[in-house]
Structure formats: structure tokens, C-alpha cells
Amino acid sequence: MNNRRPNFNDGMYLQVIGVGSARPVPERHPSSQVLRVRDRVFLIDCGEGTQMQLLKYKVPISRLHRIFLTHLHGDHCLGVPGLLSTMSLVGFQHPVHIYGPEGTKDFVDRIVKYFCRTNDEGNIVAHEINPDGEAIMVYEDHVVEVHAFELKHKVSCVGYRFNEKPLQRHLRRDQADYYGVPVAYFGRIKQGDDYIMPDGTIVPNEDLTSPNRPPYSFAYCSDTIYFPEIVPFIQGVDLLYHETTFGEELSDKAHARGHSTALEAAKIARLAGVKALLMGHYSTRYKTIKEVEMLRLEAESQFPNVIAGEEGLIIDVSEIIKAK
């Protein structure tokens, strides 16, 4: 885990773009993260200034086709007007889909009306999500599935779970040659089919292939009060981002404002059996590395693998798996 720029061709990488909370401070940006799954690039939340951060961290906005908003508080969505305006200005060729709770369509329509070219209409598509106590699939392609579920906050708010789809098995070429498998069958064998020889003998798939790495998963939960009802929806993810706005000394304030403490986020991580917890959405009270480390230590009293989110940090999910 470091700030070096890895090769993003395979695997899952989470990059922290903003770790601040509602009140602006000069040294932080509000919520935003970039998730890469193989060749896909997803933006999750888009607080004010996100596009400047994306430029700073060399995230290609030309490859951003899907933006997932958790809720319509400014520190999670006020970067959308700027980003869509820029996309429109440079004449992006692909549709951009924006997901979020009730109100997202109206929010996006107004941005398109005032900041985008008229011919962008229809190219920017808003999807309103209402999970209604369930986890619902909101997007799927051949690489990833995205599920949304309710968080508990001051306004309608959704969390997201990204599940990478299983990778094809590796073909064992020596075994395929030994059994005389024609090249035309290789694709199906990699997908898990057995091979039936001309004389009817079945060659089990396990004799022809070896397993690939396991698929990775990530869940994003911000903003939310301590809400154990989400545990089934984030069960067993490799990496969980859960807001940690306050320390335990301000738990009353956290509850009153619809937020969680670091310790509560860690309890959720433990209950859900995740592999690592990423912190963020820090109150302005916790400015220094030392103060954030205090939050991390509080979390660590409940859960062993806690990563303090900092802007620019890139987390390679394969390293979390290796470290387990």
C-alpha cells in the first residue's frame, strides 16, 4: 500500500480522492474515491473539487462512464457540476451514467440544463435507486456487479458493493494437448466445461485447468450512523470503506448528526467479517496525522486491519489478500 502508481491492467485498486467531511478545510477535499476493477474505472461520490483531484492523480476522466453517488449532501455531490461541465466541454463521446438516491435525476437534469451542451441530453443518464431494505443490483457487465443498499443518515443515502466477477480458469496446455482438445474448445474449457472425447470419455475440467485468483470485492458506506442492518450486504468483502467521522469521545455528536465513530465502523467491519477497513470522512477536529492515528487506534481495538485513508492513497486489494 503506497502512493506509487501501479499497473492497473488486472485486479482491483481503490484510490482515495477526498477524506474530508461537510465543513471545508484547506488541507482536505470532501468525499470521493476511484475504484478500478480490471479495465473499468468507477467514481464513487464526487465532492467539490473532485475533478481537480482527478487531474492531480492522473485519473483519466475520459474513461469515467459511471459515477455512484451515495446522497445529495454537498460534500458528496457538489463536484458533479464541474465534472460534467468539463466532460461536455471536451466533447466526450460516451454516455455517462450517474447513480444515486431519490432526487438524483432532478439534480443531474439541472446540471445538464445549465452547464452542458444541448446535444449532451440523453448522453448523461441519471438512475435513481430505492433499495427499500434490500440489496439491489444497479449495474452489471462482464467484469463487475454493483449492488446498492440503504444506509441510515439524515437524508436518503445508499451504500454500494462492487463484486468482481469470477475470472476464467487457466488452461493447462500440456494437459489439453495430452487429451487432444481442439483449440476451438479452449474458450469453453476456460469457462469450466468438461471435455468429451470422440469416444465419449469425459475429461473433467479440473484435469484441464487450474484455478485463477479469487474475484475481489469492495463496499462503500458513507454517510451513515452505526447501522448493523447493512452487515449482510457487505458480508466478507475484501475491503470496506466505512465513514469514521468522529472519535469515541464524540459519539453523542456522531449519532445526532447521522455519523459513525471509528470504533463503530470497526464493529461493523468485524461483524461483517471483512478483510480490511478503510477510514475517512474525518471531522475537522482531526487535522493532524497524529489525530487520525488516534481514530485508527480506537478502531483497531475492535478490528485488526484498519487503514487510515489519506488523499492519493492507492490500495491494491491483492496485497490485502496476500497479507491475510
| Residue 210 in grid coordinates | 487450474
Instruction: Name the minimum Å distance from CB 295 to Zn ion.
Output: 16
- Give every CB contact of residue 206 below 8 A, 6+ residues apart in sequence: none
Q: Is residue 251 within a helix (H) or strand (E), and if so which, with residue range?
A: helix 251-256
Between 203 and 295, whose beta carbon lies closer to Zn ion? Answer: 295
Binding residues with Zn ion: total (CB under 5 A): 3
Q: Which is nearer to Zn ion, 38 or 152 (CB)?
A: 152
**Minimum Å distance from CB 114 to Zn ion?**
24
DSSP character for 275? Answer: S
Site track for Zn ion across 64-103, x = CB under 5 A: ---------x-x----------------------------
Nearer to Zn ion, 66 or 73 (CB): 73
Residue 75 among the catalytic residues: yes
Q: From residue 202 to residue 241, what is the string marking binding to Zn ion with x (rule CB under 5 A)? A: ---------------------x------------------
Q: Nine-digit cell at 147?
A: 449492488
CB of 73 to Zn ion, least distance (A): 3
Beta strand 276-279 with 40-44: parallel, antiparallel or unpaired?
unpaired
Between CA 75 and CA 77 the distance in angstroms is 6
Q: Measured from the CB atom, is 21 or 209 closer to Zn ion?
A: 21
- Pick the closer one to Zn ion by CB: 66 or 76: 76
Using rule CB under 5 A, residue 45 touches Zn ion:
no
Q: Shortest approach of Zn ion to residue 237 CB, angstroms?
A: 21
Q: Name the active-site residue from 45, 75, 223, 316.
A: 75
Which distant-in-sequence residues (6+ apart) come within 8 Å of 38 by Cβ? 9, 10, 11, 12, 143, 164
Q: What angle do CA 307, 308, 311 make, to 5 degrees?
A: 120
User: If DSSP codes are grouped into helix, strand and coil, which group holds residue 270?
Assistant: helix
CB of 72 to Zn ion, least distance (A): 9
DSSP state of 199: T
Amino acid, single-letter form, for residue 91: G
Cell numbers for 273: 467479517
Footprint of Zn ion on this chain (CB under 5 A)? 73, 75, 223
- Which residues have a catalytic role annotated? 75
